[in-house]
Amino acid sequence: MDGVTVIDHPLVQHKLTIMRRKETSTSSFRRLLREISTLLCYEVTRDLELTMETIETPLTEMQSPILEGKKLVFASILRAGNGLLEGMLELVPAARVAHVGVYRDHETLQAVEYYFKAPEALAERLIIVVDPMLATGNSSIAAIEKLKERGAKNIRFLCLLAAPEGIRNFQEAHPDVPIFTASIDSHLNEKGYIMPGLGDAGDRMYGTK
Give the footprint of ligand URA on this chain (CB under 6 A).
80, 133, 135, 192-194, 197, 200-202
> CB 61 → ligand URA: shortest distance, Å?
51
Q: In terms of CB distance, is 7 or 201 closer to ligand URA?
A: 201
Provide Rg for the chain, Cα atoms. 18
> CB 63 → ligand URA: shortest distance, Å?
46
Report whether 139 belongs to an annotated binding site: yes
Query: What letter represents residue 130's amino acid?
Result: V
Residue 165 burial class via C-beta count within 10 angstroms: exposed 0-12, middle 13-18, buried 19 and up: middle
Angle in degrees, CA 179, 185, 187, rounded to 5: 110
Report whether 109 belongs to an annotated binding site: no
Q: In terms of CB distance, is 98 or 133 closer to ligand URA?
A: 133
> CB 162 → ligand URA: shortest distance, Å?
10
Burial 79-106 (b: 16+ CB within 10 A, else e): ebbbbbbebbbeebeebbbbbbbbeeee
> CB 189 → ligand URA: shortest distance, Å?
8
Report whether 137 belongs to an annotated binding site: yes
Task: Please report, in range form, the residues annotated as the binding site for uracil.
Answer: 194, 199-201
